[in-house]
Amino acid sequence: MSLTGAAVFLSTLNIFLSITASVSNALILVALHKESSLHPPTKLLFQCLAVTDLCAGVISQPLFAVAILARVIKRTYLKDGFIVTGFLLCGTSAATTAAISVDRFLALLLGLRYRHVVTLKRTRAVIVCFFVIGISVGSMHFWSDQVAWLADIIFGLVSLIASILSYTKNVSTKDSKTEEEFH
């Protein structure tokens, strides 16, 4: 496959994924809007995840597809646009996914106290922090690509570790509660 053929294939694939991400996340937002049984902070986390993924489908992926087709190799505003939005949206999406894992862990761990500890105000503050970090990491790209990538990797690893720890603690907490109920 030639370089042109590969560029067309990648652009086509990205446009398809862009449409899929946009439509599916728009449907998720509609479903979340109609759902009333979810705890408001949990619902807000799911909405944040859907919005960041929707924006990635509407902004980042099309910019990337156009940049590939235009064979943007040198530093241009188009390339900077998809890099900065990629850092912002992907980082925020990963952090929100980790926050959902922590939220579910806290719901299991805290029981009835959960609704008093995990509030809408605190959840909003956490989401704002995710966006500020994402914007900061994306903005670092203009200063130094290497620093931006390092910060993005660290942000991603912290999110991944938080998710893994929440999941493993979640499983062990469920198992211990099941054993207590059994005896």
- Report which DSSP code applies to 36: -
Q: Kindly report, residue by residue over 55-112, the tens digit of the pLDDT.
A: 888 888 888 877 777 764 555 666 777 778 888 888 888 899 999 999 988 888 888 8
Q: Does domain 3-177 have CATH number 1.20.140.10?
A: no
For position 115, what pLDDT does the model report? Answer: 86
Q: Kindly report, residue by residue over 9-54, the tens digit of the pLDDT.
A: 878 888 888 898 899 999 999 998 888 888 888 889 999 999 999 9
- Distance in angstroms between the alpha carbons of the first and the last residue of the chain: 64
Assess whether pLDDT exceeds 60 at residue 174.
Answer: no
> Per-residue confidence at 179, pLDDT binned at 50, 70, 90?
low
DSSP 3-state of 11: helix
What are the C-alpha distances in Å from 94 to residues 38, 48, 52, 103, 134? 21, 11, 10, 14, 10
Specify the higher pLDDT residue, 49 or 180. 49
| Extents of the domains making up the chain | 3-177
What are the C-alpha distances in Å from 86 to residues 15, 56, 73, 102, 106? 15, 7, 17, 24, 30
Assess whether pLDDT exceeds 80 at residue 117.
Answer: yes
For position 89, what pLDDT does the model report? Answer: 85
Q: Which of 157, 159, 154, 151 is nearest to 135 (CA)?
A: 151
Range among 7-16, 115-124, 165-174 with highest mean pLDDT value? 115-124
What are the C-alpha distances in Å from 7 to residues 3, 4, 12, 56, 83? 6, 5, 8, 20, 17
For position 177, what pLDDT does the model report? Answer: 56
Assess whether pLDDT exceeds 70 at residue 151.
Answer: yes
Assess whether pLDDT exceeds 70 at residue 131.
Answer: yes
For position 42, what pLDDT does the model report? Answer: 87
- Mean pLDDT calculated for residue range 111-128: 90
Assess whether pLDDT exceeds 60 at residue 180.
Answer: no
Task: Classify residue 152 as exposed, middle or buried by CB count within 10 Å of its CB (0-12, 13-18, 19+).
Answer: buried
- Mean pLDDT calculated for residue range 152-159: 89
